[in-house]
């Protein structure tokens, strides 16, 4: 699973250039360039902590996860194998994003 860095400071999961989630989902099934991908896990709001999904997704609240599974639909990326990212390291970007559409995987590389 990749080492993940993130530059999306507006995301509630962001901390010190990294992500605190247990995993992320990247979208972009027809993407041919990095701008056409997005981090679907981006959120501006803390999820409802009564929700079981919250505990599954977040794990240790606030702690950076340096490596995590990245489930990615960008099948045109050379690092994508069966919708899982096999890159050693990736970077999610979109520093002023207010919506997941304004984020992207800057490590996308066409097959």
Q: Which residues bind ligand SF4 (CB under 6 A)?
A: 6, 8, 11, 13-14, 19, 21, 24, 26, 37, 39, 41-42, 70, 72, 74, 77, 79-80, 85, 87, 90, 92, 103, 105, 107-108
Task: Give 24 or 49: the residue with its C-beta nearer to ligand SF4.
Answer: 24
Q: What is the DSSP letter of 54?
A: H
**Is 78 in contact with 85 (CB distance < 8 Å)?**
no
Closest distance of CB 50 from ligand SF4, Å = 20
CA 37/CA 108 separation, integer angstroms: 8
Pairing label, strands 3-6, 14-15: unpaired
Task: Give 19 or 60: the residue with its C-beta nearer to ligand SF4.
Answer: 19
Instruction: Assign 78 to helix, strand or coil.
Output: coil
Closest distance of CB 68 from ligand SF4, Å = 9
């Amino acid at each position: 699973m990749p080492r993940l860095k993130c530059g999306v400071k507006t995301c509630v999961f962001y901390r010190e250039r990294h992500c605190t989630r247990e995993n992320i989902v990247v979208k972009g099934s027809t993407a041919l360039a990095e701008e056409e991908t997005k981090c679907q896990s981006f959120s501006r709001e803390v999820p409802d902590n009564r929700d079981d999904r919250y505990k599954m997704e977040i794990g240790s609240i606030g702690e950076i996860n340096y490596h995590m599974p990245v489930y990615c639909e960008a099948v045109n990326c050379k690092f994508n194998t069966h919708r899982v990212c096999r890159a050693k390291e990736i970077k999610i970007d979109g520093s002023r994003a207010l919506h997941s559409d304004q984020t992207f995987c800057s490590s996308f590389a066409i097959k």
